[in-house]
Amino acid sequence: AQTVTQSQPEMSVQEAETVTLSCTYDTSESDYYLFWYKQPPSRQMILVIRQEAYKQQNATENRFSVNFQKAAKSFSLKISDSQLGDAAMYFCAYYSGGSNYKLTFGKGTLLTVNP
């Protein structure tokens, strides 16, 4: 079974600085997808960024980028120029490319942004 591990329960960053959130996963599959979701205090989940395992190039969405290390099974999220609105719980998630249509989530990292 796939597992997703986020080793940092909490992180903090100063406004305008850069922060990196860690995620590792365990799988025997070669075809899969990885995601970072944000859950602000409103508790509504929002997709931040996604990465297809077959793509070597790291995904980027504006201030958000990932460092995808397939051999190490690592998928970290970098937030540049942190803003107060980035404060949220961040979840790493894994999606099998097979017929098992489900997301497996990590336990989350609570990010605090200090003004």
Partner 1 sequence: DGGITQSPKYLFRKEGQNVTLSCEQNLNHDAMYWYRQDPGQGLRLIYYSQIVNDFQKGDIAEGYSVSREKKESFPLTVTSAQKNPTAFYLCASSMGPGPLYEQYFGPGTRLTVT
Residue 43, amino acid: R
Binding-site size for partner 1 (CB under 8 A) equals: 24
C-alpha–C-alpha distance, residues 4 and 40, integer Å: 21
Phi and psi at residue 64, to the nearest 5°: -105, 130
46 lies in the site for partner 1, by CB under 8 A: yes
Q: How far is the CB of 55 from partner 1 (least distance, A)?
A: 13
Nearest approach, Cβ of residue 43 and partner 1 (Å): 5
Q: What angle do CA 104, 107, 109 make, to 5 degrees?
A: 125
CA dihedral 53→55→58→59, nearest 10 degrees, is: -80
- Residue 68 as a binder of partner 1 (CB under 8 A): the answer is no
- Applying CB under 8 A, does 108 fall inside the site for partner 1? yes
Q: Of the candidates 28, 30, 41, 43, which one interacts with partner 1 according to CB under 8 A?
A: 43
Q: For binding to partner 1 (CB under 8 A), which residues are involved? A: 4, 9, 32-33, 42-47, 50, 91, 93, 95-97, 101-108
